[in-house]
Chains A and B, each alone.
Chain A
Amino acid sequence: MNGYKVDDDRRKQGSSANAARRWAHRIVSGVWSRLSRFDLVVLILFALVLLITAIGPLVTPYPPMFADPLQRLVPPNRAHPFGTDENGIDVLSRLIAAPRTDVLIAVIATTLSLAIGAPLGVVTGYFEGADRRAMRWISEATLRLLDVIQAFPVFILAMVLVAIRGTGPANVVFAVAFVNFPVFLRLVRSEILALREHLYAEAALALGNSELGVGFKHLLPNAWPTVLVQVSVTIGFAVLLTAGLSFVGAGVSPPTPELGAMIASGAKFLVIGQWWVAMFPGLLLGLIVFTFAVMGDVASKLMEPGQHAIASGRLSKNDRITPPAHGESAAPSAKGAVLSLRGLTIEADSRPAVLNGVSFDLMPGEILGVVGLPGSGKSTLVRAIVRLLGYGLRQQAGHVFFRGKDLADLDEKTLRAIRGYEILPLLANPKSQLNPLVRTGDFMVAHIRAHHRSSRREAHARAARMLSTIGIGDAEHWLAAYPHELSGGMAQRVCLAIALVHRPPLIVADEPTAGLDVTVQRQVLDLMIELCHQNGAAQVLATRELGIVAHYCDRVAVLHEGLIVEAGPVRDVLLAPRHAVTRRLIAAADLRAVTAPARTNTSLKIVR
């Protein structure tokens, strides 16, 4: 046991030294590049605020508390750049001296609420998951009590607390700390709840540390980054609260230089046009609060490694495409093909290409399987054909021809008319494809009416017919349902009904049966292929399962790292694979099970 402990301690020291070194390294190397110009401004402002708080009262040009009746309410001039107040005190000097009061009160109060809230948060977080009922009960009661404390509006609670205990900086600190501690308690509690699920928490427990000990020693330090951000935001809020309290006379009272009280005393002069007394303190107050609020974000950027500013990627479906670099890929589409891809290249922001010069032709009624390992670019290919690349992806080169027309040349309106009418997407995770707050029926009706002039009632009847066609009984019930009431298989059947209702010439499917259980998978696929055959629809079917390809497709293209490495009739490719990836996929697939006729499976079940 003892040995463990020493070892544990040494490792901890080692890791913290390592962490410190890594942290220092990050500061030297990457920090400046991560910060935008805006962040730098915030950092400088932050340093200035701290500096003024520290030395403000010592460097004022005039004494900030010395009245001069001869100089009352002088407008800004050279001697007094911000004018003087009703006591004849230089406003600039009071401004320089005031942050000492406001920021100091806010910082002390926030530290205090952190000191109360964080340990309580650790305890509550631990009690919540404890085995003993009494502990869980305590944590629950604490949270409900917090609910009630937080039901009192913050400002009113603080105001009343000061009123009860009397004005003065110490009581303001107490009031501000009291109204803010629930924030930290809740934050730390939720962090602890999330962190204790991690493996290292369990490892520490297994080494014989007590639950609470683990909470304080191992989990609390990991919660620090989040907490620190909140500290910064809370300090800003506390400055505002302090100033507000002083403004209504329930905080720091004059003559102590304090921003809220300065605004209060300047208020009556502002109304009659002597604006400078109240205007400048408000601006300074806003600046301080702003700095602390934004400093939280900047601090979190500094602390989190590899946390780049998210590039403001835009939906790129309307982007014009640069002309193809290679002459060969500019060849026009094959005669009679429904879909022709020529050198399609898709890039993500500052990463290697997701698709790299993909070309193929698809004849009417033909089913092309696109297989590949996860991450090979299958989904991107499907989305590129419907021209819905989403954020951060760009079509860099190449063409998508649909019936001989380049989709990139179409305007928004024509594209909308083709999408959902002639080219139908069928995507993975059908439940997340349906808007959770729209009834299935409304969705189908909208889709039917988007492409076919009809009344709501006609469209509804047609949707119901379509559902019966694909074998869904009690269509009205499902049309009134919300997506969360559908099972995955049912949701995909609905999507299938949507895909087929306009009898499109082309369906692009991306793992349409992923996540469904095997029998449902089978039913959905059988149905889909059968209906495609009936309608003469061509299909691109992206999947990672060769079994599906073997059973349902005419041709297959193997996609690897954005390149088509092998393509041809299904039989040829599967029986004589030439590329290593194809062989790996074949090895991973249980082809016999899938290629076996569907009936055997059911009869087997019956026998059992």
Chain B
Amino acid sequence: MRTFKYICRRLLILIPQVFLISIITFSLVRMLPGDPARLELGPLAPEEGVELLRHQLRLDQPLPQQYIAYLQRVIYGDFGRSWVNSNSVAQDLLVRAPATLELMIAGMLIVLVVMVPIALLSASPSRGWLARAMQRISFGYGLLAGALPDFWLGLVLIFVFFSVLGWAPGPEGRLAIIELPPERVTGFYTIDALLAGDFDTFKSALSHLALPAATLAFVYGAPIFKMVRASMEAALRSDYTIYAEGLGLPRRTVFLWAMRNAAPPTVVVTGVVAGYLLGGAVLIETVFNLNGIGQYAVQSITTADYAPIQGFVLVAAVFTMIVYLIVDLVQFMIDPRLSARAS
């Protein structure tokens, strides 16, 4: 009941937030000099078409009316058309979204499976060889992470693992050029290939995903890594850890219980990072030619294709809001103190 109430309250906050986001995206294009209808349809569109859209956007009416017209379009999932390839923007985004999501999820998995354990072990005050090695790694990573530009790191990985060693495929997209994508179920090539029982395609999709996901994890995992390490260190030095040691509890238990305390701040940072991931995906998709929504946005910007830009910005902001919502809910569930306060 308490949880239900909290979720309801949190969802209520979402409404004004989404409202504000829509106002901002609406004004972004209105900030441009020139006629929004002409901008959306591109310089090559016939005057009649522009006139029609102008009417549809209620450009002859005052701004509030224009905003309502904009909202109506967005609610019906109509983000306008790209004048470059004359596809519906909503359709374009939908087709490309799985590539971006697959990249982000793979990157976060690497962070979770590889980097978080290293951070946890390096926080341990033990002087064993393992802890020491992890402490060295984490020191080195702390120096590099956050300073290396993601797009450059991606290029260097391509150079080393493709050009020099030949272990990984080049930046040719999500599959080799001659390969056909698996039948679309989820849009995630790895999952769809598995569902179709096509292991060669699965392997290829995975190997094409490896370098971009590693790049994303290396650059955007840094805040998570630092937070895990810092909060774990704090937990291991805290009174309750010393007391648990004093009671002779098994080392494993003490460590695992300390980890519970490192979890809430880590979830918060992970949420913030997940919000940034979309921004990172823009650059990494461009470098690896993954053709997700990030690369779509970059292409639209270079061709001054405004409808996709507007649609992408809206999607990105709503995505971030939803991530923050999930973070709040997860945190509410893992920390009993929060639920106590909420009641």
Contacts and interface: CB of A to CB of B under 8 A. Distances in A.
B240 interface: yes
Contact of A498 (B164, B238, B247): B247
Nearest to A419: B248
Interface stretch (B54-62, B82-90, B334-342): B334-342
Given A437-B257, A447-B247, A263 B321 contact: no
A326 interface: no
B243 A263 contact: no
A144 to B, nearest CB: 8
Interface in B229-257: 237-251, 253, 257
Interface string B274-304: 0110111011001100000000011001101
A248 interface: yes
Interface string A255-277: 00000100100010011110100
Interface in A261-316: 263, 267, 270-273, 275, 278-279, 281-282, 285-287, 289-290, 293, 314-315
B92 to A, nearest CB: 16
B225 to A, nearest CB: 15
B253 A446 contact: yes
A436 interface: yes
A224 interface: no
Contact of B247 (A248, A279, A415, A424): A424
A436 B282 CA distance: 40
Contact of A236 (B147, B253, B278): B147
B31 interface: yes
Interface stretch (B64-72, B105-113, B148-156, B177-185): B148-156
A149 interface: yes
Given A151-B275, A388-B242, A421 B248 contact: yes
Contact of B260 (A314, A427, A438): A438
Given A152-B313, A153-B275, A163-B309, A244 B337 contact: no
Contacts of B246: 386, 388, 419-420, 425, 427
Per DSSP, chain B at the interface is helix
Interface string B135-152: 000000001101111111
Nearest to A285: B149
Contacts of B332: none
A391 interface: yes
Nearest to A315: B125
Contacts of A263: 149, 151-152, 155
A143 interface: no
Interface stretch (A76-84, A154-162, A363-371, A596-604): A154-162
A434 B249 contact: no
Nearest to B152: A282
Given A270-B159, A315-B125, A435 B244 contact: yes
B249 A450 contact: yes
A484 B336 contact: yes
Interface in B192-234: none
Contacts of B29: 164
Contacts of B275: 151, 153
A385 to B, nearest CB: 10
A282 B24 contact: no
B313 A160 contact: yes
A184 interface: no
A71 interface: no
A425 B243 CA distance: 8
A286 B155 CA distance: 14
A63 interface: no
B32 interface: yes
Nearest to A287: B147
B171 interface: yes
Nearest to A314: B125
Given A250-B301, A271-B162, A314 B127 contact: yes
B331 interface: no
Contacts of A19: none
A244 to B, nearest CB: 6
A164 B31 contact: yes
A282 B149 contact: yes
Contacts of B152: 263, 278, 281-282, 285-286
Interface in A193-249: 236, 240, 243-244, 247-249
Nearest to A444: B247
Given A432-B240, A450-B247, A148 B17 contact: yes
A174 to B, nearest CB: 12
Contact of A153 (B148, B242, B278, B337): B278
Interface of B: 16-17, 20-21, 24, 28-29, 31-32, 125, 127, 143-144, 146-153, 155-156, 158-159, 162-164, 170-171, 237-251, 253, 257-258, 260-261, 263, 275-276, 278-280, 282-283, 286-287, 297-298, 301-302, 304, 309, 312-313, 316-317, 320-321, 324, 334-337, 340
Interface of A: 144-145, 147-149, 151-157, 159-160, 163-164, 236, 240, 243-244, 247-250, 260, 263, 267, 270-273, 275, 278-279, 281-282, 285-287, 289-290, 293, 314-315, 317, 383, 386, 388, 390-391, 415-421, 424-425, 427, 429, 432-438, 443, 446-447, 450-451, 482, 484-485, 498
7 contacts: A147-B17, A156-B316, A249-B301, A249-B302, A390-B237, A435-B244, A484-B336
Rank and list the top 9 A-B pairs by shortest CB-CB distance, nearest first.
Answer: A420-B248, A282-B152, A420-B247, A155-B279, A153-B279, A290-B147, A419-B248, A437-B260, A433-B243
